[in-house]
Amino acid sequence: MKIPGVGRNVRVVSSMAASLAIVALCSLTVTAAQGPSQKTSKRPVKQTVQRRQGTAAVKSRKKAEDPKEKDEKTAKWILETLEYGINKERREAINKILTIKDSGLKRKLGRTLVDLLRDETDPEVTVKAITVIGDINETSGIDRILKRIDDPSEDVRTAAVYGLKKLKAESTKGRLIQKLEKEDLSKHTNFNEALINTLGAFKAREMLPFVEKALESDKTNGSIREYMVLFLGSLESGAPKKLLLTLYKDEDEETTVRCYAVNSLARLKLNDTAGDIKQVLREIESFGFEKRKKYYNLYIYSVAALASMGDSEAVPKLMNSLRSDNSMVRLKAVTILKDLKNERTIDILKYRMKNDPSRKVRRAARGVLKEFGIDVGEEEKNLPGQDDSED
């Protein structure tokens, strides 16, 4: 049975419904296509904001953290690690003591290290503890460190001697001299080198007879002899003058020993030896070209000694040294100019900085000029005839 007008209306409604369905389907398709990308684009922004807020909060907390509170937390970690940590962690903890700002807390930790030295058996931990005790100047550790100069480990013994040097423990001189006198000087070791250097810093003049005897012996190791000659220059006494002059003027002596001997004469301010130094310089200047090359180092050390003594003949000889084909001679001459600041030496250094064939000499000249307070600008590119070699 047909109802008038109904069929047409139904068809219209159906058509409209179909159209709406198609529109809805397209809308869903577009939404589905766009949805994930829109969500993805929003998520990083939110995460970025959260990260920024988190970073700001961390910075705020760090800023608000009291320095003393921070030191106390670090100190607690150090003490716990020293007690329970593995040796690698313990070494790191010992080193961390240097970062403590609170002087009282640092002193407390230093005393903890001194206590640690009593029974510690690990050589690396022991060396680190001794080093830091010296760095923070914990003088209560002197006795414990002194006992370690008899340690089975050479590394520990060496660290102990340098630790005493840092602590300026001159009261230990006698014990260190006794130790050196028992050493086998026919061999060079880090330990006997440390003993000689430290006794030099302590100006142990009482060691002079022993040193003279060791220098005369043909059994004494060459490196040990060199350290001993340098030791003589630290004594602030004219007592070694005769011995140093003898070594310096001896043509059969090792060149390095002669160099160090004239260096020690200058350090002791024995200006009355200038005549002897000039005599050696004249001898070297009289040599032929090939032979003179063998004495470059002795020549420049001798010129440096005269310059240190304030002798007027040093300057022209120094200028000649700066013209040497040997870059090491020029380098040494540049370093000597540090003690001769005037308009002429500044001009010479500027020339060397720009024109010397050796990069090492150019850099040394630049360094001296900076020490003089002169603006040297940026390092220039190589000029013709220059390269980046160290020769």
Does residue 239 fall inside a structural domain? Answer: no
- pLDDT tens per residue, range 231-259: 999 999 999 999 999 999 999 999 999 99
Of the candidates 168, 183, 206, which is a domain's last residue?
168
> Does a structural domain hold residue 188?
no
Does residue 140 sit within a domain? yes
Lowest mean pLDDT among 121-135, 157-171, 258-272, 312-326: 312-326
Least confident range from 7-21, 260-274, 369-383: namely: 7-21
Q: What is the pLDDT of residues 264-291, one digit of tens each?
A: 999 999 999 999 999 999 999 999 988 9
pLDDT at 365 over 90: yes
CA distances from 227 to 156, 189, 215, 360 (A): 21, 12, 10, 26
Q: Does residue 194 have a pLDDT over 90?
A: yes
Q: How far is CA 136 from CA 83, 94, 229, 282, in A?
A: 21, 11, 31, 50
CB 164 within 8 A of CB 172: yes
Give how many domains the chain has, as a whole number. Answer: 2
pTM: 0.75
Among 5-19, 65-79, 144-158, 310-324, top mean pLDDT goes to: 144-158
State the average pLDDT over residues 170-181.
97
Unique residue bearing structure tokens 């002059």: 245
Instruction: Please check the confidence at residue 32 and state whether its pLDDT lies above 80.
Output: no
- Count of other CB atoms within 10 angstroms of residue 214: 19
Q: What is the mean pLDDT of the chain?
A: 85
Q: 134, 168, 202: which is the final residue of a domain? A: 168
Neighbours of 268 (CB within 10 A): 20
105 located within any domain: yes
For residue 349, give its domain range.
Answer: 336-380
> Residue 54 burial by CB count (10 A; 0-12/13-18/19+): exposed, middle or buried?
exposed
Can you give the pLDDT at residue 377? 81
pLDDT at site 253: 96
Can you give the pLDDT at residue 48? Answer: 56
What pLDDT does residue 20 have?
41
Q: Are 317 and 345 in contact (CB under 8 A)?
A: no
In sign, the C-alpha dihedral spanning 282, 283, 284, 285 is positive
In whole angstroms, give the CA distance from residue 200 to residue 184.
19
1 pLDDT band (50/70/90 cuts)?
very low
pLDDT for the residue 266: 94
Residues with Cβ within 8 Å of 204's Cβ and at least 6 positions away in sequence, in order, are: 173, 176, 177, 235
381 confidence band (pLDDT: 50, 70, 90)? low
SS (H, E, C) the chain: CCCCCHHHHHHHHHHHHHHHHHHHHHHHHHHHHHHHHHHHHHHHHHHHHHHHHHHHHHHHHHHHCCHHHHHHHHHHHHHHHHHHCCHHHHHHHHHHHHHCCCHHHHHHHHHHHHHHHHHCCCHHHHHHHHHHHHHCCCHHHHHHHHHHHHCCCHHHHHHHHHHHHHCCCHHHHHHHHHHHHCCCCCCCCHHHHHHHHHHHHCCCHHHHHHHHHHHHCCCCCHHHHHHHHHHHCCCCCCCCHHHHHHHHHCCCCCHHHHHHHHHHHHHCCCHHHHHHHHHHHHHHHHCCHHHHHCCHHHHHHHHHHHHHCCCCCHHHHHHHHCCCCCHHHHHHHHHHHHHCCCHHHHHHHHHHHHHCCCHHHHHHHHHHHHHCCCCCCCCCCCCCCCCCCCC
**Are residues 352 and 334 in contact, defined by beta-carbon separation less than 8 angstroms?**
yes
Does 374 reside within a domain?
A: yes
149 within domain boundaries: yes
Residue 80 structure tokens: 């716990």
Place of tokens 């807020």: 53
- Let me know if 91 is exposed, middle or buried by CB neighbors in 10 A (0-12, 13-18, 19+): buried
Q: What percent of the chain has pLDDT over 70?
A: 79
Class of residue 307 by CB neighbours under 10 A (exposed 0-12, middle 13-18, buried 19+): buried
Q: Which of 138, 168, 198 is the last residue of a domain?
A: 168
Name the one residue in this structure whose structure tokens are 């403590």.
Answer: 100
Q: Is the pLDDT of residue 11 over 50?
A: no
Residue with the bigger pLDDT between 391 and 228: it is 228
pLDDT in tens, 93-113: 999 999 999 999 999 999 999
The pLDDT value recorded for residue 17 is 44
41: in domain: no
Spatial contact of 95 and 81, defined as CB atoms under 8 Å apart:
no
pLDDT tens-digit series, residues 325-345: 889 889 988 988 876 777 777
Q: Is residue 134 part of a domain?
A: yes
Looking at residue 326, its pLDDT comes to 85
| Residue 378 to residue 363: CA distance in whole angstroms | 11
pLDDT in the model for residue 301? 92
- pLDDT grade, residue 149 (50/70/90)? very high
